[in-house]
C-alpha cells in the first residue's frame, strides 16, 4: 500500500472512514512506524484539546450583559423595505407554520411563471418592432417628402419617372404621405 | 484504537429559526430579544476568543465588541448563514486583529506558571492530583501546558480552525462558512495544525 494521504489520516482521526478503508489504514500503520506515531501523537493532541474546555471551562462574568447593554449604540433601525417585507411575510405565513415552505414554493412558482410570460421570445421579437416614431420624427419625414416631391415637380421628371406618371400621380407634393414601399430609384 | 466521532453536528435548524425570530424582534426595538441572543452565544464566543487570545479578560472585551458590532449591523444580517456563524466570523476577524496588534507591540511572554484565568473565582489552571500518581500527574500537566503553549504560538489561521473544530466541536461546513473558504482548505489547515501540535508534543522533554 502507498503512503497514507492526508485525507486518510484525517478520516482515521475523525472516525469517518468506512470499515473497508479503516481496515486498510490500520494494516498500513502496522508497516509504517513513522505514520503510526504521528497519528498517535495527533490523537493525543486532539484528546488534550477536547479535554481543555472541561478542565478549564470559560464562563462569562455576571456583569457581561449589563456592561454590554450600556455600551450598545442606538438601537438597530429596520429599513422601511425590510420592515414591509417582514410584515407581509408574517401576515402571509407565520413563523413555524407547516404551510410556510409550501407557501414559499408557490410564491416562487408564481413569480417564475409571470417572469416567463413577460420575457418570452415571442414578446422579445414583438417588442423589437414596437418602436414608435415621435411626432417630431413624423413631421420631419413629412416635410422631407413634401420637399422631395416639390423638387421632383420643379425638375419636370416626367421622362425620368414614367411609372409615377403612369399611376396618375401628378407630382404636386400630395405624394408626401406615400409610405415609400413602391419607391423606385 | 477508537476514533472520536468528528465532525459532530453543532446546531439544529430549529435553533437557527429561533435565532432569526429573535433577530427580527431585535430589529423591532426589542432589547430583550437581543439579550436572549447574547445569553445563547456569549459563553461560546468568549471561550472561542479565550482560546484564540489565551487571555480571559481580553476575550471578554472581544466578545463585547463582537455583540456590539452584531447589534449595529443587525440590519445587514441576511441569514445566508446561521447567526452563530455570523458571530464567529466577526469574532475571528477581531481576534486576528488583536493578535496582529500584539505582534506589533512588545511581546508578552507566555508564563506557564500564571493561571489561565488570572482570577481565582473564574477557575485557574486545573491542578493535577499528585497524591495518587505523582509522576503521571506531573506529566499530564506538562502535556496540557505544552498544548496551550503550542496553540498560542500557532499561526492565526491554523489556530482558528483547531479551536473551532477540536475544542468547540464545530462541523467542517460551519467552519468553512465562518472563514469563507472551501471545506478542503479547512481540512488542510486542520491537518497541519494537528500535525504541528503532535510534533511539538513529541519534542517535549
Q: Count Cα neighbours of A127 within 13 Å in the Cβ-side half-sphere.
A: 7
A57:B123 CB<8 A: yes
Question: Contacts of residue B26 in chain A, CB cutoff 8 Å?
Answer: 76
Task: From B21, B98, B103, select the one nearest B66 (Cα to Cα).
Answer: B98
What CA–CA distance (Å, rounded) separates A176 from A150? 10
B6:A15 CB<8 A: yes
CATH code, residues B131-205: 1.10.10.10
Domain B12-105: which topology? Rna Polymerase Sigma Factor; Chain: A (1.10.1740)
Widest Cα–Cα separation across chain A: 113
Q: What is the pLDDT along chain B (205 residues), one digit of tens a residue?
A: 444 444 444 556 667 678 999 999 998 888 899 999 999 999 999 999 999 998 989 999 999 999 999 998 888 887 778 999 999 999 999 999 998 888 777 555 444 444 434 433 344 334 344 345 556 677 778 888 888 889 999 999 999 999 999 999 999 999 999 999 999 999 999 999 999 999 988 776 5
The alpha carbon of residue A90 is apart from the nearest alpha carbon of chain B, in Å, by: 11
Question: Contacts of residue B29 in chain A, CB cutoff 8 Å?
Answer: 75
Question: What's the pLDDT tens digit per position in A17-68?
Answer: 999 999 999 999 999 999 999 999 999 999 999 888 777 777 788 888 888 8
Task: Please list the residue range(s) of chain B that carry CATH number 1.10.10.10.
Answer: 131-205
What CA–CA distance (Å, rounded) separates B110 from B153? 10
Checking if the pLDDT of A157 tops 90, the result is: no
- Which of A 2-31 lie inside 8 A of B, CB atoms? 6-7, 9-10, 12-16
- Confirm or reject contact between A96 and chain B (CB < 8 A): yes
Task: From B162, B159, B52, B153, select the one nearest B108 (Cα to Cα).
Answer: B153
Nearest CA in chain A to B14: A96
Can you say whether residue B2 is alpha, beta or left, with left for phi > 0 and alpha for psi between -120 and 50 degrees?
beta
- Which of A 40-59 lie inside 8 A of B, CB atoms? 41-50, 52-53, 55-59
User: Would you say B140 and B150 are in contact if contact means Cβ atoms under 8 Å apart?
Assistant: no
Task: From B179, B205, B39, B199, select the one nearest B96 (Cα to Cα).
Answer: B179
The confidence score (pLDDT) of residue A17 equals 94
Question: Contacts of residue B194 in chain A, CB cutoff 8 Å?
Answer: 13, 42, 45-46
Q: Is the ipTM value over 0.90, yes or no? A: no
With cell 503553549, the residue in question is B149
The confidence score (pLDDT) of residue B122 equals 41
The confidence score (pLDDT) of residue A90 equals 58
How far is C-alpha B184 from the geometric centre of its chain's CA atoms? 20
How far is C-alpha A125 from the geometric centre of its chain's CA atoms? 23
User: Would you say B201 and A41 are in contact if contact means Cβ atoms under 8 Å apart?
Assistant: yes
Extents of the domains making up chain A: 6-53, 135-177
User: Would you say A58 and B43 are in contact if contact means Cβ atoms under 8 Å apart?
Assistant: yes
Amino acid at each position: 500500500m502507498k503512503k497514507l494521504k492526508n485525507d486518510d489520516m484525517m478520516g482515521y482521526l475523525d472516525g469517518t472512514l468506512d470499515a473497508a478503508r479503516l481496515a486498510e489504514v490500520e494494516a498500513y500503520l502496522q508497516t509504517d512506524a513513522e505514520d503510526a506515531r504521528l497519528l498517535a501523537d495527533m490523537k493525543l493532541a486532539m484528546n488534550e484539546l477536547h479535554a481543555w474546555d472541561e478542565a478549564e471551562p470559560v464562563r462569562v462574568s455576571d456583569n457581561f450583559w449589563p456592561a454590554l447593554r450600556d455600551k450598545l449604540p442606538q438601537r438597530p433601525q429596520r429599513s422601511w423595505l425590510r420592515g414591509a417585507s417582514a410584515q407581509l411575510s408574517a401576515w402571509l405565513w407565520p413563523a413555524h407554520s407547516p404551510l410556510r415552505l409550501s407557501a414559499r414554493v408557490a410564491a416562487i412558482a408564481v413569480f417564475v411563471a409571470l417572469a416567463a410570460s413577460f420575457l418570452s421570445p415571442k414578446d422579445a421579437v414583438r417588442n423589437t418592432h414596437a418602436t414608435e416614431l415621435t411626432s417630431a420624427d413624423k413631421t420631419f419625414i413629412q416635410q422631407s417628402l413634401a420637399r422631395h416631391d416639390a423638387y421632383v415637380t420643379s425638375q419636370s421628371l416626367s421622362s425620368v419617372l414614367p411609372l409615377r406618371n403612369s399611376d396618375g400621380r401628378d407630382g404636386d407634393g400630395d405624394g408626401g404621405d406615400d409610405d415609400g414601399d413602391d419607391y423606385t430609384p | 484504537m477508537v476514533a472520536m466521532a468528528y465532525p459532530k453536528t453543532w446546531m439544529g435548524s430549529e435553533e437557527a429559526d429561533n435565532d432569526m425570530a429573535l433577530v427580527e424582534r431585535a430589529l423591532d426595538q426589542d432589547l430583550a430579544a437581543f439579550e436572549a441572543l447574547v445569553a445563547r452565544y456569549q459563553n461560546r464566543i468568549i471561550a472561542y476568543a479565550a482560546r484564540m487570545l489565551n487571555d480571559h479578560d481580553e476575550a471578554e472585551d472581544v466578545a463585547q465588541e463582537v455583540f456590539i458590532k452584531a447589534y449595529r449591523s443587525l440590519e445587514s444580517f441576511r441569514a445566508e448563514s446561521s447567526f452563530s456563524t455570523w458571530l464567529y466570523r466577526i469574532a475571528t476577524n477581531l481576534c486576528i486583529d488583536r493578535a496582529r496588534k500584539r505582534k506589533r507591540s512588545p511581546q508578552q511572554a507566555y508564563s506557564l506558571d500564571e493561571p489561565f484565568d488570572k482570577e481565582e473565582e473564574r477557575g485557574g489552571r486545573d491542578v493535577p492530583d499528585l497524591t495518587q500518581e505523582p509522576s503521571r500527574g506531573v506529566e499530564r500537566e506538562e502535556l496540557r501546558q505544552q498544548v496551550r503553549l503550542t496553540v498560542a504560538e500557532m499561526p492565526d489561521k491554523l489556530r482558528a480552525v483547531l479551536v473551532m473544530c477540536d475544542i468547540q466541536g464545530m462541523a467542517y461546513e460551519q467552519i468553512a462558512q465562518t472563514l469563507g473558504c472551501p471545506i478542503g482548505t479547512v481540512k488542510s489547515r486542520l491537518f497541519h495544525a494537528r500535525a504541528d501540535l503532535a510534533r511539538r508534543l513529541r519534542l517535549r522533554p
